[in-house]
Chain A
Amino acid sequence: MDDAGPLYPQLVLEHRRNPRNRGRLDACTHAADGVNPLCGDRLRIELRCVDGRIAELRHSGEACAVTVATASMLGELVEGLDAAAVEVLGGRFAAYIEGRGDAAGLEALAAMAGLQQHPARRKCALLPWATLRAALAGSTAATTETEIRMHARTAIAPFAFRAATDADVEAVVDLVQSAYRGEGSKQGWTTEADMLDGRRTDAAGVAALLAAPHSKVLLAESADGLLACAHVERQGDAAYFGMFSVRPRLQGGGIGRAVLAEAERIAREEWACREMQMTVISIRDELIAWYERRGYRRTGQYKPFPYGDERFGIPKRDDLRFELLVKAL
């Protein structure tokens, strides 16, 4: 029988029969166990990273052909890449199998196109990606169910939202700084430490946002204190989203998503805005991919970076500019 249906082209069957990079590493720097609750499949990914880049990857575990073939192809693809690049490719792969993007850069994984017609099996292909990302993030466990659960090191306590007041200015400045600048920010993936030094914002900047009309600084707090913040401001029919910061060690755990969703809710329900806008440093592909997964669209409209204004930091490179992202609410 030649025709095994769209999910099992020859290349997939071949990778399943002879998976590349199958097995374990004698010495690994990162490892995670992933589970797909749909079928109970388990996949282990072990990595040896050098200078933040994947030097070796091995996968092991009992899983279906879709999972094994994806792990096999993915292992070949990500060698030499760092976490940010994996994030970009992972986002592209997820979009591709949902039929929302092309296979550019995905190489052999283009063979997983059949998943566009088999939504029920997509998680099988996402398991290796979720496991790899968990390993890179320093977690030991992953699931295809969402990034929210099971982050072993970064379990999140229940949190609540409120609007910041003048009393919160210092805490907000510290949080924003910790998420974007300096060595500490490198524990999370929103870091700009390699692009910018200096400050991201200051007390006067935050106080100005609090004083402005139709402007809110949204805080997510748990018993442990401030976890995340963001600024939302109404500008006519649209709302503007900025100063988005999550404590570095909690990143990748789903808080950011919740903050973004709450900001969108405020804009839509409280201000009746039709669109959310934001500007992102245009070379931050992985960050833009994160927003794209949440429905934002690149516009190709750019704004210059305020070179010379040290309130926004001290650039380490000269090609920075902002791109406008938008989402209909």
Chain B
Amino acid sequence: MNNLQGHVLDVARVREDFPLLARTVHGKPLVYFDSANTAQKPRVVIDAVDRYYREFNANVARAVHQLGEEATAAYEGARDKLARFLGAPSRDEIVLTSGTTQAINLVAYSWALPRLRPGDEILVTTMEHHANIVPWQLVCERTGARLRVAPISERGELVVERFVEALTPAVKLAAVAHVSNVLGTINPVAELARATRRRGIPLLVDGSQAAPHLAVDLRTLGCDFYAMTGHKLFGPTGTGALWARREILHDMPPFFGGGEMIREVRFEGTTFADPPHRFEAGTPNISGFVGLGAAIDYLGGLDHAALVAHERALLDHLTDTLRAVPGVRLFGEAAHKVPVVSFLVDGAHAHDLATLLDHEGIALRSGHHCAHPLMQFFGVPATLRASLAFYNTHEEIERFVAALARVRTLLA
């Protein structure tokens, strides 16, 4: 971490950029520890959406008038920004979607469904979000392929050797979270990609939880598909993207049909636009992408090294404090993590604690976090999850831990 020295994030300043963080909940100042669920939005994002509707609301790629030009420029501008943000070789490899879920389903229906045969396999891991499990199960049901699962360790780390062993010739696709939404674990994607490439197996990476914390660089990651969602990246809901290698996208048939995705339509047959527009039928979430573009600009204006150092310090503080509380069980103690901590408290139910903490102004999530198989692995029905972002503070962690001790006594 030496290279991070000297990079200090002015958190108080940053917090002023997020209007919602100033509100109170049940009469107490809000402590928002649920950013992995959805992140709060900086004012520039809110203003960009507002400005779009006030000043240049028009449909994209259809109107030749000035408003249409401006809307199209802003919308397509978001694609450029995403391409740069993710380190994509080309903007034409960025398909804009409503989020990760749609991105993964696009790959499932347009890429996997036509290719897979009985006996083929799709490899996932124990720590996947349902969005990276269920689409593959649906594909398996229709094609006769099978879903295989690479295991994790008790510490919540992917067992890389077992993942590599599972890459038999039957495997036609591997799909892995870049960062676990429950455990915070950062998976060694570049290492996994080397193994899959050597065997000619495409690798899909679910980047939902990575993009808000890590500097993603698709050129060095070496995967073949990358899915992400905008609302966790401080942008509006209903935005996201699928990146895929150009040659892969060119081989994929359209998924939705409609306006915008065509070259020529005749009743005898239709020819389709090239990627990425081939996959973007209908009027898209223009205001959302205008906002997402603003979010990416905002992040670009922060000192990323300072942000990483701050998040690292928050994670260490939160983990060490919770670990010191008797009766607290932590889930996921990987060496490489983002500031997401799942835990349970002896004798207190996760939902009761979450409701009681909410009454103290502290928002965190309880439940299965859309990861049933991972809950089954740990043998628990649910956990509490504190998920932080760079706008959180050490003082908030202290408030949270003090409140946890208080509400616990109520249930004792």
Contact = CB atoms under 8 A, between A and B. Distances in A.
B368 A8 contact: no
A78 to B, nearest CB: 24
Given A1-B407, A65-B349, A39 B381 contact: yes
A158 interface: no
Nearest to B409: A1
Given A4-B356, A5-B26, A5-B359, A39 B368 contact: yes
A103 interface: no
B1 interface: no
Nearest to B350: A39
Interface size class of A (residues with CB under 8 A): 20 to 34
B355 A121 contact: yes
A63 B406 contact: no
Contacts of B26: 5
Contacts of B382: 39-40
B375 interface: yes
A65 B351 CA distance: 9
B411 interface: yes
Contact of A121 (B351, B359, B409): B351
A259 interface: no
Interface in B362-412: 366-368, 375, 381-382, 406-407, 409-411
Contacts of B381: 39-42, 62
B7 to A, nearest CB: 39
Contacts of A39: 349-351, 366-368, 381-382
A65 B410 CA distance: 11
Contacts of A121: 351, 355
B407 A4 contact: yes
Given A16-B411, A65-B411, A4 B359 contact: yes
Of listed B367, B410, B411, residue having the most chain A CB within 10 A: B410
A124 B381 CA distance: 14
Contact of A124 (B351, B356, B358): B351
Interface string A63-81: 1111000000000000000
Given A5-B356, A64-B349, A64-B352, A38 B410 contact: no
A122 to B, nearest CB: 12
Nearest to B357: A5
A1 B406 contact: yes
Contacts of B366: 39
Nearest to B376: A40
B352 A1 contact: no
Given A64-B352, A65-B352, A4 B368 contact: no
A7 interface: yes
Contacts of B368: 39-40
Nearest to B358: A5
A214 interface: no
Interface class of chain A by DSSP? loop
Interface in B128-176: none
A118 interface: yes
A140 B178 CA distance: 41
Nearest to A114: B355
Given A39-B381, A40-B382, A5 B355 contact: yes
B124 to A, nearest CB: 21
A45 B361 CA distance: 35
B351 A8 contact: no
A112 to B, nearest CB: 13
A49 interface: no
Contacts of B350: 39, 64
Interface in B8-42: 26
B375 A13 contact: no
Contacts of A40: 368, 375, 381-382
A245 B349 CA distance: 43
A64 B366 CA distance: 12
Interface in B197-252: none
Nearest to B368: A40
A1 B410 CA distance: 8
Given A39-B367, A39-B382, A4 B410 contact: yes
Contact of A13 (B349, B406, B410): B410
Contact of A118 (B349, B355, B409, B410): B355
A188 B365 CA distance: 41
Interface string A11-40: 001001000000000000000000000111
A63 B411 CA distance: 13
Contacts of B355: 5, 7-8, 118, 121
Interface in B331-354: 349-352
A124 B367 CA distance: 13
Nearest to A4: B410
A39 B381 CA distance: 6
B305 to A, nearest CB: 39
A121 B356 CA distance: 12
Contacts of B410: 1, 4, 8, 13
Contacts of B359: 3-5
B363 to A, nearest CB: 13
A7 B356 CA distance: 9
Nearest to A2: B410
B33 to A, nearest CB: 17
A64 B356 contact: no
Contacts of A41: 349, 381
B356 A8 contact: yes
B401 to A, nearest CB: 15
A63 B356 contact: no
Contacts of A38: 351, 367
A93 to B, nearest CB: 19
Nearest to A38: B367
B24 to A, nearest CB: 15
Nearest to B375: A40
B64 to A, nearest CB: 42
Contacts of A124: 351
Of listed B351, B368, B411, residue having the most chain A CB within 10 A: B351
14 contacts: A1-B409, A1-B410, A5-B355, A5-B358, A7-B355, A8-B352, A13-B411, A38-B351, A39-B367, A39-B381, A64-B349, A64-B351, A66-B351, A118-B355
Return the 9 tightest CB-CB contacts between A and B, nearest first. A40-B381, A5-B359, A64-B349, A65-B352, A64-B351, A39-B382, A64-B352, A1-B406, A4-B410
Interface of B: 26, 349-352, 355-356, 358-359, 366-368, 375, 381-382, 406-407, 409-411
Given A4-B356, A65-B352, 6 more contacts: A5-B26, A5-B355, A39-B349, A39-B350, A41-B381, A63-B349
